[in-house]
Structure 1
Amino acid sequence: MTRILVFNIFFWMPIISFAQLYSGVVKDATTQESIPYATIGLYKETVLVDGTSSNERGQFQIKNNKEATHIEVSFMGYEIYKILISEILDYQNMNVVLQPSKNELNEVVVQAERTTTQLKIDRKIVNLGTDLQQSGATALEAFDQISEIQTDLGTGSLSLRGSGNVRLLINGKPSAMNSMELLDQIPASSIQRVEIITSPSAKNQADGLSGIINIIFKKNINQGLNLNLNSSVGTKRYQVGFDGNYNTSIVNFRLQASHGERRMDSKQWIYQKYANGNTRDFYAPHDFNGKVTRVTSGLDFFFDEKNELSFEVSYTHDFHSFFNDTYYTNVTGRNDYLYTRNSSHTHKTAIYNVNYRRKFSEDGHFLELDYNVNDNKNILPASDFEDDSFLFDEEQSNKNNLHALAIDYTVPSEKITIEAGTSWNHRKLTSFNNFVPSGGIAVNDIFNYKENLLGIYGLTKFKTGKLNWQTGLRYEYFSSNSDNTMNGQTTDLSFSNLFPSIHLSYELTDKNTLNTGYSKRVSRPNFNHINPFRMGNQYFQWNANPSLKPEFADSFEVNYQYDGEKLNLSIDTFYRYRTDVIQWLQVINDEGVRIVSFDNVGKRNTYGIETNTHYKINSFWNTQLSANYYYSKAKQPNITWTDLYSSNIILKNTFKICKSITTDITYTHVPKRQDVFSQTQPRNRFDLAARANFLDNRLTASFRIVDVLDNNLRKRKLVLTNVVQNETWRFQSQTFGWMFTLNYKLFQNQGKTRNRKQRNYNHGGAIE
């Protein structure tokens, strides 16, 4: 493995030679705003010699040692800029000004053929193309196609670099729902990009030991009246929705709505053998029925070139029901019996957001203020029966209210950029538990919880030669208090901490980049750890622990990326050191119920490597190989295994059959995984997808088959001190899906337009 890595790095790392450097900035002639992602081409007569794209600030750089005659700069909606090499006065300070096109263009719908990954100094950005097999897929299913994110479609678990301690954000902000339910309600077609932040800077809130996953939704601000219709139908599911906007250049109105329903069935076999010789087996089929309705509207005001104000309101109604029969057999000391639990979840979430951005004269100089309110209500009733005899009714409900206020200020200069900001986050949670046993007296208990987090950060960015530096320091003060009427228990916690970060990026050449970074992270005890009212079931229960301490992690990483014309290669390595690890501790009682609690248990060292290679074999065939491996050494008592490991491999081949038809074949292999208490056996899966475009790309039809061979079983062995449990889970892995998308622009505004970016505030969000 070491030889292969060394060969990859040095084979693709070109030798630095003497060459002419061309650099500058691309701007709009009317507004003088920078133009990101413009195309810069270096030509010798009519032959393209070299090329690049401008960055987010419109800056570009080309280093070339070949003969050239002129440079061409182009961007959609602008006239092509052309200048002879002999006419350039200053090669390193070119000021390229593009004139808006005077010709009215026919509508062109551009859709990325493949997903692209952009490596930044402190994060990896996955811009979703059409090759993620999104036909009717949810966000969780889309994540399953990204090798850097580890998911389990059966359990809905989510992890980065072998750890499930992940901070999940939506447009830079948190959700009050857990990750499984949240990702299951988001259509993959609504996602523009995913930011994978494994080495967060001081600008980001310090929660999330393994990093941050930030989902950025699509936001339409195109001129005129635009409408995008989409629908999908598949195995026991359907979804319909639309996305529209009306932009007069001064005011932009946005409206999105979707409704989807999905059913799913799964089967689980569990076999328990106790140390004393007792046994218990159970077979548990599950039926799931769910429906989600989402509505989002927004107003963007562009008062002038320097002031922008946005309002947004969204509402989600998510309902799903569960019907679980558990057939108990081979139970020591009693006859076989049937246990039934009928339950449902209702989640109602309203989100309100206001954002103001003030631009100053210099490009990149701005002040931004963002306020977000997340109001979430949940109702979780359940009824339990044994052999058709009623046992009890239980209902848990909670009101979860989050407020997040943040201010950011950025000041650029010729040599250094300074960023500073502050944030205040507040959560108020009230949980109710109502228990009514058969023939007994109803019991009602309440859990109240409040949490506040104040954060202040400073960040500097500067460049010395080819080396880019980013250093930062963050201060956070955290406090929380709670009371529980069930046992009269109260908590009053407060923590004050500093979190440094440093990142370096070295541009070996215009195609080779080397990055390294360090960040300190924390996992504090929150309501998930100390709330006693969490819905379980007949074989799984939670125990709260209000005595937890914070867990800290120091993370180091190094990554290399090569971006060539045909080959894209990235290699990431990291090391993470965790102290006072907040560990799931498990025990199975005499009734066969697995009881999970949390405690601070020892230390852990984690190492890992991630590789991603994309190669364009020819004009119609692209192939991508992604692989990762993570290893941890757990220095923790009272666990079964101290050597922990996990990995996965994804091989994707995309074929362009003709101009309008593309197919995708994906193979996924998940090798054996070992955790502190369990071992999961290897799994394999083949996925197929096809896409066809019609009506000048306005209409898109996609078809997807997940798990063609229908053999993606999850087999796990759980080893505890008093019992060994073998599990087989056959969830609804094989699915078929169709998706239809229609894009239509009713008319195009003929007035003055401005080069506006799609505005998504990205401070780092509120408390998760």
Structure 2
Amino acid sequence: MKLKFLIVLLLSNFMSLFAQSSGSITGKVMDKNTNEPLPYVTVVLKENETMVTGGITNEAGIFDIDKLAPKNYTLEIQFIGYKTVVKKCELSEIRRIDLGTIVIEEDVAQLEGVEVVAEQSQMVQKIDRKVINVGKDLIASGTTASEIMNNVPTLSIDPQTKEISMRGNSNVRVLIDGKPSNIPVEQLLQQIPSASIKQIELITNPSAKYNPEGMSGIINIILHKNSQDGFNGSINTGVTFGITPKTNSNLNLNYRVGKVNFYTNYGYNHGINANNGFIENEKTNAENRQDFKFKNLNNSHLIKLGVDYYINDKNNISFYTNQNISDVNGNGTTFVRYYNPSANNRDSDQFFFNENDSYNQTYDLSYHHDFNKKDEILDVQFNYSKTKNSEDTQYNEAIYSPYNSYSRFNFIDGNTDYFQFNLDYVNPLTESSKLELGVETRLQTTSNTFDDVQTSGTTYNVFDFNRDIYSAYANIGKQLGKWSGQLGVRLEYFDLKADFASTGINTQNVNDDIFTAYPSAFLTYTKDDKNSFNFNYSRRVDRPSIGQLNPIREWRTVQLESRGNPELEPQFTNSFEANYTRKTKIGSITSGAFYRLINDEISRVVFDDPNNENGLILSYDNFNNNKAYGFETSANLKFAKWWSVNTSADVYFKTVKGTIQNADTGEFENAAVDVTAFNFRMNNNFTATKNLRFQLFGFYRGRDLSLQFERKEMYKIDVGSSYNFAKGKGTITARFNDVFDTMRFAFDGNIPHRQYGAFHWENQTVYLGVNYLFGGGKSRALSRKQRDANEAQSSGGMF
């Protein structure tokens, strides 16, 4: 409680704090029906409708506001779900006023209007995006953001790597609250509890207002942010039982008084993740089987501290910092057994032990201004982040017939500094037209070192990466009757410099200097309240990431090593899309089609390791110009009061062309493959009572092809239930994942030679969790700035 009162004191009027008088007002707040004291009730003290100071009640329902000047005040008792009580207080000769017991009663009308999370998820089709308002049906089926994504139309999460993809393509940009993060997406999504998610925006064809990176578009995950007066918050915690138990917890606190809002979030993840697999290799005269076992102990802490200051109705300043700390301690084994051992093909065992530490810190300062003209706004943002990563790994390898063994040590360190500045301006020229302008600067500096220590000596590797991006955009929108359209262009200057130095090898330099224009166009026709059509086009780019360019090893096994390719070129995509939304009595259905022309597509490639006769290198390369197209449909339907369905299906086609290595000659040659992929998911929600619900979720991900591998299909069924208690403030969730134990990652390929295998993880699990809301306060009538909605559209030029 000391912290709460300290915050109140800091926000109190300066003159009141240091006035010669020391008047005070005290009292006790009770619930009319239960006759029990109410803690965390907001108490606001005003003078002539202007707030002077305030406070909150303690656990006993008592408040005490002191150091008051002798004046006439109005005291308001505010608590969410209750009627506001107003008391007149005259501090003149009387230096202390005791209001005694103040009884407040529930406001039925207000309670009906308060819905923290909707029962059913709803999807809304907007001019340039789909917005999924996340309901309890999706929350009940996932403990983290990573798991919930598989329940969202057009999205998929790779169960093995946790890589996210949209419409079958992993070249997608992920934002959290409309802002990028230096934390790897796969890692960050596993740290966000699903109960913290308010909306998910799918921007499959972003306008020129947005950063053009990401061929498949943008995924913006919007988290809940409290805007109520007083002290309030929520706690979400759960345990997943598989081979080993895992915990995922989140604490969300908010304190708002007057013009200032303080908030903090803390997320913690802990647990052991185990997986195993095998690869059968049929390389001529070197046929073998590799068996893998991996185990990682994960610990991560995600802390967010922020403050919003509402200067007046037209000006707001916001600041927040994210602090992310994670460490992963892992070990694994790889056993290689040759079917016909020889002097060059000897059985071997590899054991590794590693420690991975990561620390990311982000600082964000933004200013928002509303002009006197309606909807004319200005946004300014400064963002800085710093990331440190380190990995220490020991490899112990034993080779048989004859027996010998060796150890090697790898030490990897990485540092990244990132700065971003944005200025966005919106001006509604007329009632039916709007102009958007913006500029952006992004500066990134990264340095990685890799020391490979062996008996024969130490190899030192250094990779320096510097990328500067300067851009400006303009959008003009117009509405004519049932038609509305938008044209835009983004001009961008891109400057890249990268250097790779290694012991005994000449320094490699990578330089890229490009000025490019990215146009976009949108057209919407709203026939009536039930039918709407949308057509759009945009040009996008996928620049090689530092991981794709970095030639320093990412990971290795006995016969496989992953590394980047510094020779990669950017890939450009021209994307066309059309959507149709139909509203019916039982819900809405959205169907769409898309077509992409891709230049210099970046994709995975496997080739022989020139330094290891039986080794392979997993890397990246640019393929020839490709194309892709597909169709998708999704629906939110309520067949009965007790049964609702969220379902989606998509099919996409693509032609992949590129260069591959011939297993017999070792030469590289052209190849092509036509791919058809199909995905389907259905989420059924059954309402048994007001507080008890059940869920049945089915998922199917069809096979996929690349130039070198065929990925087999995946499918599963989950069942779950949730129960609300404490008048809806608390929810208990239980879920059984993969009831029939059918999920696994399997592949089959013939390039550069015949290989097939499968990997398994703790897919069949039981989850038990609880979410509870506490505190209270009255919702503010004061409208928050657009940026607080965290929608990508409110600050699109920034990303």
AA matched with 1:608 = G
Query: Are residue 288 (structure 1) and residue 296 (structure 2) matched?
Result: yes
Q: Equivalents in 1 of 2:725, 2:494: separation in Å?
A: 54
Q: Which of the residues 194, 216, 220 maps onto 1:214?
A: 220
- The answer to whether residue 436 in structure 2 is matched with residue 406 in structure 1 is no
What residue identity is the alignment partner of 1:703?
Answer: A
Output the CA distance in 1 between the equivalents of 2:361 and 2:136: 30
User: What residue in structure 2 maps to residue 465 of structure 1?
Assistant: 481
1:316 aligns with 2:324: yes
Query: Match of 1:328?
Result: 336
Cα deviation, 1:415-441, whole Å, max 9, x if unaligned, reads 21100000000101010111111x333
| Between 498-507 and 189-198, the greater mean CA deviation after superposition | 189-198
Range moving further from structure 2, 615-624 or 534-543: 534-543
Report the residue type matching 1:145 in the other structure. Answer: N
| 1:196 and 2:216 matched | no
Q: How far apart are 1:149 and its partner, in Å?
A: 0.7
526-535 or 155-164, which moves further after superposition? Answer: 526-535
Distance 1:357 1:556 in 2: 34
Amino acid at match of 2:749: L
Residue in structure 2 matching 1:743, options 767, 770, 773: 773
Deviation of the 1:719 alpha carbon: 2.1
8 Å CA contact retained: 2:658, 2:707: no
Match of 1:305 among 309, 313, 316: 313
Asked whether the equivalents of residues 314 and 371 of structure 2 are also in contact (C-alpha less than 8 Å), the reply is: yes
* Alignment correspondent of 1:233: 239
Count of residues in correspondence between the two structures: 667
What's 1:631 paired with? Answer: 653
Matched, 1:391 2:436: no
- Over the matched positions of the two proteins, sequence identity in percent amounts to 26
Go from structure 1 to structure 2 and tell me whether the alpha carbon gap of 1:715 and 1:597 turns closer, same or farther (over 3 Å shift).
Answer: closer
Taking the aligned partners of 1:594 and 1:705, their CA distance within structure 2 comes to 39
For 2:121, which of 112, 115, 131 is the aligned residue?
A: 115
Q: Which secondary structure does the structure 2 equivalent of 1:720 belong to?
A: coil
**TM-fit CA distance, 1:109:** 4.7
CA gap of 1:687–1:102, structure 2 versus 1, over 3 A, is closer
Q: 1:378 aligns with which of 389, 405, 423?
A: 389
SS in 2 for 1:132: helix
Give the corresponding residue for 2:763.
733
* Structure 1 letter corresponding to 2:543: R
Residues 488, 717 of structure 1: alpha-carbon distance in 2 compared, 3 angstrom cutoff: same
Matched with 1:605 is: 627
RMSD between aligned residues? 2.4
Q: What are the Cα deviations for residues 252-310 of structure 1, in whole angstroms up to 9, with x where unaligned?
A: 01111121202221110110001x34201011111121011111111101111100110
Inter-CA distance 650–351: structure 2 relative to 1 (3 Å threshold): same
Give the superposition deviation at 1:133.
Answer: 4.6
Equivalent position to 2:367, from 350, 356, 364: 356
Q: Quick one: distance in 1 between partners of 2:736 and 2:790?
A: 33
Secondary structure of residue in 1 paired with 2:556: coil
Deviations 1:146-175 (A, max 9, x none): 131122111212211222211122222222
Equivalent position of 1:53 in the other structure: none
Q: Is the Cα–Cα contact under 8 Å of residues 171 and 215 in structure 2 kept in the other structure? A: yes
Measure the CA separation in 1 of the matches of 2:628 and 2:239.
Answer: 42
TM-score by length of structure 2 reads: 0.80
Q: CA deviation at 1:582?
A: 2.2
Identify which of 402, 405, 425 aligns with 2:442: 425
Q: 1:576 aligns with which of 596, 599, 607?
A: 596
> Secondary structure in 1 aligned to 2:528?
coil
Matching residue's letter, 1:497: T
Q: Secondary structure at the match of 2:151?
A: coil
Q: Of residues 747, 760, 763 in structure 2, which corresponds to 1:716? A: 747
Using the TM superposition, name which of 740-749 and 595-604 deviates more: 740-749
Q: Hey, what's the Cα distance between the residues in 2 that align with 1:543 and 1:290?
A: 24
Deviation at 1:725, TM superposition (A): 0.9
Correspondence 1:474-623 to 2 at 5 A? 474-486=490-502, 487-538=506-557, 539-589=559-609, 592-623=614-645
Q: Deviations over 1:487-519 (max 9, x none)?
A: 312222110000000011111111211101000
Is the CA contact (8 Å cut-off) linking 1:136 and 1:738 kept in structure 2? no
Amino acid at match of 2:653: Y
Query: For residues 167-225 of structure 1, what are the alpha-carbon distances to aligned partners after superposition, in whole Å with 9 as ceiling and x for unaligned?
Result: 12222222223322222222222222221111010001111111111222221121221
The structure with the largest alpha-carbon Rg is 2
Q: From the superposition, tell whether residues 651 and 365 of structure 1 become closer, same or farther in structure 2 (CA, over 3 Å).
A: same
Query: Which one of the candidate residues 122, 132, 142 is aligned to 1:126?
Result: 132
Q: State the shift of 1:640 in Å.
A: 5.4
Is 1:703 aligned to residue 734 of structure 2? yes
Q: Is the 8 A contact 2:464 2:499 kept in 1?
A: yes
Whether 1:252 and 2:261 are equivalent positions in the alignment is yes
CA offsets per residue over residues 50-96 of structure 1, 9 Å max, x none?
Answer: xxxxxxxxxxxxxxxxxxxxxxxxxx9999xxxxxxxxxxxxxxxxx
Distance 2:544 2:683 in 1: 40
Q: CA 1:352–1:761 in 2, change beyond 3 Å: closer, same or farther?
A: farther
Pick which of 495-504 and 614-623 moved more: 614-623
The one-letter code matched in structure 2 to 1:447 is F
SS in 2 for 1:143: helix
Q: Are the structure 2 counterparts of residues 135 and 293 from structure 1 closer, same or farther at C-alpha, using a change threshold of 3 Å?
A: farther
Matches of 1:491 and 1:152, distance apart in 2: 31
SS of residue matched to 1:113: coil
Contact 1:135/1:232 (8 A) holds in 2? no
Alpha-carbon deviation of 1:683?
Answer: 2.2
Partner of 2:63: none
CA contact (8 A) 1:551 1:582 kept: yes
Instruction: Give CA-to-partner distance per residue, 1:505-550, whole Å, 9 cap, x none.
Output: 1111112111010000012234233222242111432344333332
Distance change in 2, residues 1:151/1:526 (3 Å)? closer
CA distance, structure 1, for counterparts of residue 108 and residue 703 of structure 2 = 59
Aligned counterpart, 2:154: 148
Q: Secondary structure at the match of 2:138?
A: coil
- Matched residue SS, 1:642: strand
Structure 1 residues 421 and 216: CA distance shift in structure 2, 3 A:
same
**Any idea what SS the aligned residue of 1:459 has?**
strand
Whole-angstrom distance in 2 between the partners of 1:746 and 1:133? 23
What is the identity, as a one-letter code, of the residue corresponding to 1:432?
T
Q: Is the 8 A contact 2:193 2:250 kept in 1?
A: no
Report the 3-state secondary structure (helix = DSSP H, G, I; strand = E; otherwise coil) of the residue aligned with 2:565. coil
The DSSP-based 3-state class of the residue aligned with 1:529 is helix
The answer (yes or no) to whether the contact 2:648–2:681 under 8 Å persists in 1 is yes
AA matched with 1:280: N
Q: Which residue of 2 aligns with 1:683?
A: 714
Whether the 8 Å CA contact 1:136–1:234 is kept in 2: the answer is no
Question: Could you tell me how far apart the structure 2 residues matched to 1:683 and 1:197 are?
Answer: 26
Which residue of the partner structure matches residue 82 of structure 1? Answer: none
Structure 2 CA distance for partners of 1:556 and 1:77, relative to 1, 3 Å: farther
* Change beyond 3 A, Cα 1:263–1:194: same
For residues 674 and 544 of structure 1, what CA distance do their matches in structure 2 show? 22
- Tell me, in whole angstroms, the C-alpha distance in 2 between the residues paired with 1:740 and 1:422: 44
1: CA distance, partners of 2:433 / 2:651: 37
Structure-2 residue corresponding to 1:754 = 782
Q: d(CA) in 2 for partners of 1:598 and 1:330? A: 28
**Using the alignment, how far apart are the partners of 2:321 and 2:535 within structure 1?**
39
> How many Å separate the matches in 1 of 2:108 and 2:693?
32
Name the CA distance, whole Å, in 2 between partners of 1:77 and 1:423: 46
Q: Distance in 1 between the 2:440 and 2:329 partners?
A: 38
Displacement after TM superposition at 1:385 (Å): 0.8
Cα distance in 2 for residues equivalent to 1:424 and 1:684:
43
Unmatched 5+ residue regions in structure 1?
A: 1-30, 32-75, 80-100
Q: C-alpha separation between the residues in 2 aligned to 1:644 and 1:77?
A: 59
| 1:692 paired residue number | 723
